[in-house]
Structure 1
Amino acid sequence: MTLTGQSFFQEGQLISVLTAEPIDRFLDYKAPEGGCFAGAYLEVPLGPRKVLGVVWGAGEGRFDPAKIRAASRMMDVAPMREEMRDFLIRAGQYTLTPLSQMLRLATRAPGLMNPPSMRKIYRPGTGEADRMTDARRRVMQVLEDHGGAGFTLKELAEAADTGPTVVKGLVKQGVVQEIDAPRDVAFPPLDPDLGGITLSPEQAEASGALCAAVDSGTYNTTLLKGVTGSGKTETYMEAIAACLRQGRQALVLLPEIALTAEFLTRVQARFGARPAEWHSGVTMTERRRTWRMVGEGGAQLVVGARSALFLPFRDLGLIIVDEEHDGSYKQDEGVLYNARDMAVLRASLCSASVILASATPSLETWSNAQSGKYNRVNLTARFGAAEMPDMKAIDMRLEKLPASRWISPTLASAVDRRLEAGEQSLLFINRRGYAPTTVCRACGQQIGCDFCDARMVEHRFQKRLMCHQCGESKPVPEACPNCEVEGKLAPVGPGVERLAEEVAERFPDARIAILSSDLFGSARALKERIESIAAGEADIIVGTQLVAKGHNFPLLTLVGVIDADLGLQGSDLRAAERTFQLMRQVAGRAGRSERRGVALLQTFQPDHPVIRSILSGDEEGFWRAECTERQQAAVPPFGRLAGIILSAEDAQQVFEFAGEMARRDGPLQAIGAQLFGPAPAPIARVRGRHRVRMLIKADKTAPLQRAISQWIAQFRVPNAVRLAVDIDPVNFF
């Protein structure tokens, strides 16, 4: 299908429409009353239903004219720009995703087909309450947290965990305003000249380079590599300001919703108003508003998760991918894409700048910067008086540690010294829950998920066993499900909850805070906990990977990594890279204020090359060595990989079909690609479906997508079998 710009089609003229329904083709319709533009969003009949569609161009007339139906109406939203349509096409071609699925990804906002209307929204008022109950305080706190953004009655009551009558009571007293307002209004304007903090000379030089790239008005990508605490955020804020001065829009992608609250506060301080938000924690009303305003130009800056990349920006001038190395930018279900790579693609199509910010960049990004494909800007020192922490290893082979204990005497002594000095310590373990495995001491059976080939993790605080693959949970049984013997189930290995239990026993007078994503019911609760820790209301923080991402605790001077060897196990080609990144990021939480910090890594392999690189701080040396190994193995970023994942409820059926595919791999051989497998996936059953994986390895310049398409086209995939193609896989489970 050829794009036709903003062509106008007269009423009744034949048009080609793409819907978000699972129909892998364009459909012909007659233009609606009043006509329509290419890119217009339409309501079109499909069988007995009316569905969303986008005008892709002139109809091709391949259907019986008498059976072609007219589109119902053109929707009152900004049309999809040609650049956006081109982006969806190219992203779909790269990821081998049907275009209808790409459109669904780009239209995931509620109520898009509803006509404009008014609604009652609730905002802070000027009155004072006759009395302030806990429920009323929660209502006011929600309104304050969201900067006065309008809520519907239902949304405000749910967010405050109270009933509508509480809100209505506050309305009667003028504490909360009830306003009739259009459902979707523009976001408050941002002031790029309001002024930020005074930058250091190094930061000023870096921001100058970033602003120059934005001011060029052409596509470019820059790696902003700065040590933890160097002020990367404040530096790229100036690039956002440069983008806003041009009248263009900016997008900031964050890897975790948990980071959003703190970041929004910094944006408001810098630009005088809150930006638009796009992530799963935003209300449906605000999601629709953001989607519409982005298309109309009523949202200058969007802060969001990876899917924000598919919003219909009117004039996108800058994309920032913060913590660009983070694995959460890879979507592993539905449309399999990497938001970092798709950000670069989108920017190249709309003459925008990309900033990839990280203290520990991905090897792909580092390599692109080394080769000159990307620009590179460095921040080598922490901001102000803060200095990088000292890094030391604790050789666990020399420590005398009792059974079922994980805090070494050396680490415990270091924590004691911080407690005496009134400073904070962080103990890090990259495992959620209480224990990763529960085993029966009578029969040796490990409790597994009923629907997956995965062990269930005990979450003692919730008194449940949970599967971290499919989310299935059940109460901790009294008796072994296998032998039915009672009192013999025992936890094996530590999780964050079990480590916290040991901390409470070892340091009984310390105030302990646990930071793990599954222990907080809302982003607001997590934000409040982080703020209390930063204010000094905890002595020892026990945390999972969540603590490694951007938090600033001024009193924190000690980081203890309980199991630095954990990520080095297995055959994942990125194991060394991920371990290096995680350890450096976690260590970077220490000493971010005036007090010097130290990071202690408990390891049984102090001489491992990765551990030595972490301790030495020779990041460039690590990347060079890792690049050399990858180049010799011809794997990314010096080769291409693609994963094929097949699944079915019938194990024999899926293995037989996978075997047939492997025997007919001619199109792959034609480009010199190697096919490995089929083999059971490392987690061979998920949600009751048996999983088989194949891996394709090809030269970096090989036309991999075309060959895979030709290969798959040979087969009729059975209805009971699901086939997914993962271009550039990050995970291999």
Structure 2
Amino acid sequence: MKADDKEYIYVDVALPVALFMTFTYKIPVSYINHLENKELIGRRVLVPFRNLGLTGIITGFAENKDLKSIREIYQIPDKKPVWSEDYIQILKNISEYYVSPIGTTIYYAMPEGLRWKLNRKTGNWIKGISEEKIYRPAVVTLSDIPHLSEKARKLLEFILEKGEVDRNQVKEAGFSLNTLKTLIKKGLVQEERFIFREEKSVKQPEIKYQSINLKSGIYLYKNQTAQNRLKQYIKLGLSVIKNGESLLIILPNIATIQKIYPELKKIFGERVFIYHDAITEKEKIKIWFSLKETSKKIVLGTYSALFIPIKNLKAIIIEEEYSQAYKADRTPRFDARRVAFEIFRVKKDISLIYASTVPSVESIYMLYTKKAKSLSRKDIFKNINKKPEISLKSFSYKDLKKELIKAIKPEEKNLIIVNRKGYASFLYCPVCEEEIKCERCDIPLKIHSTAEQKYLQCEICEKRYPYIKTCPECEHKLEEIGFGIEKVGKILKEKFGDNVSIDPEKNASITITTSVTSRDFVFGIYDRIINIYPDFFLNIPDFRGEESFFRSIALPYFKVSSKYIIFTNHPEHIAFEALDKKDFSIFYKYELQNRKLTDMPPYSKLILLTFEKKGLELDKVKQIFQEWIKKEKISSIEYEGPFFAIFSKVREKNRFQILMRNFKEKEKLKELYNLCSKKNIKLIIDVDPRQTY
């Protein structure tokens, strides 16, 4: 919209506040006339809000008004809009789908460096520009590390738990950057930084790949090795660049980006761009506007790269599409897979590819119902040169050390998959039949071990407790139940010393990890893989437990050349039949039948409501929920609950949940949110939850 001879233009602005609305502001026409680019929708504006100064995004035009109550913007800080109009529509769709305030949805979709705030004392805008790096553990466990302060030890535990973190995550978790520097100096944590340059006119290397064209639509790329998929992405990239378009590849973590970036760089040179949360904010902003203005690019990114309005975008690939890394664990709780679908739905003329070696049940369902087409023409099992021998062994905690050492061949390349974190699962009293729990969160405390001592720690609030040997109630001897990567790491270090590593890049004879999932490109091929008790996934109180179990045993099969040993107490499970017969459809048909019988996704749409407050009681949640149903005149609703959440107490706050099925009036959930806010109850609305606990 161009400015006319009126005094003001009135605009709707989305602000980062927990309200389901936009706010009207006015912009002087004289201000707009001085702008080189006069597009307003998608622009960032700095505005007054109550007694604050906030960054907002213009989402539309309001009716012309002349009211004294409507405030004027402070400033339009950018030369061009952050988003194009079609992306503003995409963000609106995401906001509506996830019942998330439009302001917070848009705020968290843009780079942190664009989220300015006004410093009321100085009158200056805090621009949030910072240098970002990525940090990874350089050790397997804490077992053999003496002389660490408690803060340093807790931070190292945190980094081991996450696998990779950036500085924001370190600060948000309550740790000091000085403590992080201490760990780096001691060689316990590795620091990495990514440097990018602007595109230059350079001679591209000779291309040996043939390009492929792909019509618009939704596709599933399954049962292929990661390297085979990468070859196809290169062909697709050549095609889109030849046509003056761009390709976006979304990956579950930065480690995977690191792995495939050099391969793409060889082919596409300076046309390859990387975008993720560990690069500097200044670089992020530069990349953002560069991709918005120029095409013929290959973009590798994590979750956040989906929100970049890439010019002439032709195809989106969601790699390792089953990964839980794609579901945000903070509000707004949107999912990268759905965001990609909304982009596809609005743009219409692009291709959307969901890809993985062992795809999600939902993706297979899309294939069976012809909502997606298959890109896999060959049976991968026929292309494996050397089929590994599969051996199922009975598992017992008592014999774990002996059987594990016997199974390893140090002269070969071994991968040990532990499936559990920490040292052991928990302490258990066989007399009281109770676990030792966190007094704040009411969940079993995980056992950890260091060179100096064992201790207990809550996985939710991270409070540490001293290790105890007898039950505080009956004084009976407690039992250690379960095992984790720390215990297995200690066993292997004692026997094999420096041949044991947590880093697959070190090429050690024995590599130890908790999981191969979400790191398909990171792990190469091993002579021997030992998978310890994947049965753990069958005990998870979630409808995706069996799917996780199947993936945990199936994915390593593609990584082993000689011997695949699985310690399990469920050899009769249908997942092993599917693996043995090399026919994954056996499991998928079984699982889809179960999902249909229990009315779980993909046969239903779920919304998980979580109510949190200190001292909150079950009856109060029932009362609020029934009050909302009556007030909103909801006649048709299917739900379970309220019930205690699996983690029924977190940081002294009681938690209750309600699981809703196929609720079509999501708009009315906004009123439930407002009702809870008035009573100081935190309500988390999780549409399409990845877990139901």
Give TM class, smaller chain.
0.7 to 0.9
1:512 equivalenced with 2:476 (yes/no): no
* Letter of the structure 2 residue corresponding to residue 24 of structure 1: F
1:599 equivalenced with 2:564 (yes/no): yes
Q: How does 1:215-364 map to 2 (within 5 A)?
A: 219-229=216-226, 231-273=228-270, 275-297=272-294, 300-350=297-347, 351-364=349-362
- Counterparts in 2 of 1:19 and 1:321: CA distance versus 1, 3 Å: same
Shift of 1:616: 2.8
1:370 equivalenced with 2:368 (yes/no): yes
* SS of alignment partner, residue 636 of structure 1: coil
| C-alpha distance in 1 between matches for 2:316 and 2:442 | 39
| C-alpha distance in 1 between matches for 2:463 and 2:291 | 39
Alignment counterpart, residue 464 of structure 2, candidates 453, 468, 474: 474
Shift of 1:679: 0.5
8 Å Cα contact 2:606-2:659 kept in structure 1: yes
* Letter of the structure 1 residue corresponding to residue 408 of structure 2: V
Q: Percent identity?
A: 20
Q: Which stretch shows the higher mean deviation, 659-668 or 340-349? A: 659-668
| C-alpha distance in 2 between matches for 1:480 and 1:77 | 67
Alignment counterpart, residue 406 of structure 1, candidates 400, 407, 410: 400
8 Å Cα contact 2:12-2:24 kept in structure 1: yes
State the match for 2:530 in structure 1: 560
* SS of alignment partner, residue 281 of structure 1: coil
- Counterparts in 2 of 1:86 and 1:226: CA distance versus 1, 3 Å: same
State the match for 2:76 in structure 1: 74
Alignment counterpart, residue 418 of structure 2, candidates 426, 429, 435: 429
8 Å Cα contact 2:608-2:689 kept in structure 1: yes
Q: How does 1:111-150 map to 2 (within 5 A)?
A: 111=114
- Counterparts in 2 of 1:274 and 1:566: CA distance versus 1, 3 Å: farther
Q: Which stretch shows the higher mean deviation, 241-250 or 384-393? A: 384-393
* Letter of the structure 2 residue corresponding to residue 558 of structure 1: R
1:614 equivalenced with 2:569 (yes/no): no
1:657 equivalenced with 2:621 (yes/no): yes
8 Å Cα contact 2:250-2:300 kept in structure 1: yes
Alignment counterpart, residue 60 of structure 1, candidates 54, 60, 63: 63
Shift of 1:386: 4.1
Shift of 1:670: 5.7
State the match for 2:664 in structure 1: 703
Shift of 1:633: 3.0
8 Å Cα contact 1:184-1:288 kept in structure 2: no
Shift of 1:83: 0.7
For structure 1, which runs of at least 5 residues remain unmatched after alignment? 1-5, 122-156, 163-182, 199-203, 214-218, 516-528, 592-596
| C-alpha distance in 2 between matches for 1:105 and 1:553 | 32
After superposition, the C-alpha distances for 1:668-727 in whole angstroms (9 at most, x for unaligned) are 9967441110000011012222110011123xxx625246457x3894643420112211
State the match for 1:532 in structure 2: 506
| C-alpha distance in 1 between matches for 2:178 and 2:382 | 40
After superposition, the C-alpha distances for 1:496-518 in whole angstroms (9 at most, x for unaligned) are 1101222345x4477112x3xxx
- Counterparts in 2 of 1:385 and 1:545: CA distance versus 1, 3 Å: closer
For structure 2, which runs of at least 5 residues remain unmatched after alignment? 33-37, 117-123, 132-176, 183-194
| C-alpha distance in 1 between matches for 2:676 and 2:517 | 47
After superposition, the C-alpha distances for 1:245-284 in whole angstroms (9 at most, x for unaligned) are 3333332211122222112222222212474333332233
State the match for 1:126 in structure 2: none
* SS of alignment partner, residue 37 of structure 1: coil
* SS of alignment partner, residue 280 of structure 1: coil
* SS of alignment partner, residue 534 of structure 2: coil
After superposition, the C-alpha distances for 1:113-160 in whole angstroms (9 at most, x for unaligned) are 599x9x999xxxxxxxxxxxxxxxxxxxxxxxxxxxxxxxxxxx9999
1:493 equivalenced with 2:482 (yes/no): yes
| C-alpha distance in 2 between matches for 1:316 and 1:467 | 47
| C-alpha distance in 1 between matches for 2:635 and 2:531 | 45
8 Å Cα contact 1:561-1:602 kept in structure 2: yes
* SS of alignment partner, residue 588 of structure 1: helix
* SS of alignment partner, residue 78 of structure 1: coil
- Counterparts in 2 of 1:25 and 1:706: CA distance versus 1, 3 Å: closer
* Letter of the structure 1 residue corresponding to residue 514 of structure 2: T
1:632 equivalenced with 2:606 (yes/no): no
8 Å Cα contact 1:423-1:539 kept in structure 2: yes
State the match for 1:28 in structure 2: 24
8 Å Cα contact 1:28-1:60 kept in structure 2: no
* Letter of the structure 1 residue corresponding to residue 510 of structure 2: I
| C-alpha distance in 1 between matches for 2:251 and 2:46 | 33
After superposition, the C-alpha distances for 1:43-86 in whole angstroms (9 at most, x for unaligned) are 22224443222222322357x62233322222224312111110
- Counterparts in 2 of 1:490 and 1:476: CA distance versus 1, 3 Å: farther
- Counterparts in 2 of 1:244 and 1:343: CA distance versus 1, 3 Å: same
* SS of alignment partner, residue 420 of structure 2: coil
Number of residues of Structure 1 aligned to a counterpart in Structure 2 = 618
- Counterparts in 2 of 1:554 and 1:629: CA distance versus 1, 3 Å: closer
Shift of 1:24: 3.3
After superposition, the C-alpha distances for 1:22-47 in whole angstroms (9 at most, x for unaligned) are 44322222224431533222222224
* SS of alignment partner, residue 110 of structure 1: helix
Shift of 1:579: 1.0
Alignment counterpart, residue 679 of structure 1, candidates 600, 623, 643: 643
Shift of 1:286: 2.6
| C-alpha distance in 2 between matches for 1:278 and 1:633 | 40
| C-alpha distance in 2 between matches for 1:238 and 1:106 | 30
State the match for 1:390 in structure 2: 389
After superposition, the C-alpha distances for 1:416-447 in whole angstroms (9 at most, x for unaligned) are 3xx3xx32111212111111214579998744
8 Å Cα contact 1:448-1:454 kept in structure 2: yes
* SS of alignment partner, residue 373 of structure 1: coil
8 Å Cα contact 1:229-1:382 kept in structure 2: no
* SS of alignment partner, residue 393 of structure 2: strand
| C-alpha distance in 2 between matches for 1:109 and 1:624 | 44
State the match for 2:683 in structure 1: 723
State the match for 1:688 in structure 2: 652
Shift of 1:312: 3.4
- Counterparts in 2 of 1:86 and 1:383: CA distance versus 1, 3 Å: farther
Shift of 1:316: 2.5
8 Å Cα contact 2:320-2:518 kept in structure 1: no
Shift of 1:657: 3.0
* SS of alignment partner, residue 221 of structure 1: strand
* Letter of the structure 1 residue corresponding to residue 417 of structure 2: F
- Counterparts in 2 of 1:648 and 1:268: CA distance versus 1, 3 Å: same
* Length-normalised TM-score, structure 2: 0.79
8 Å Cα contact 1:87-1:346 kept in structure 2: yes
* Letter of the structure 1 residue corresponding to residue 505 of structure 2: E
State the match for 2:408 in structure 1: 415
8 Å Cα contact 2:361-2:547 kept in structure 1: yes
8 Å Cα contact 1:442-1:488 kept in structure 2: no
After superposition, the C-alpha distances for 1:507-540 in whole angstroms (9 at most, x for unaligned) are 4477112x3xxxxxxxxxxxxx33212xxxx222
* SS of alignment partner, residue 557 of structure 1: strand
8 Å Cα contact 1:186-1:299 kept in structure 2: no
* Length-normalised TM-score, structure 1: 0.75
After superposition, the C-alpha distances for 1:173-199 in whole angstroms (9 at most, x for unaligned) are xxxxxxxxxx99744579887525x6x
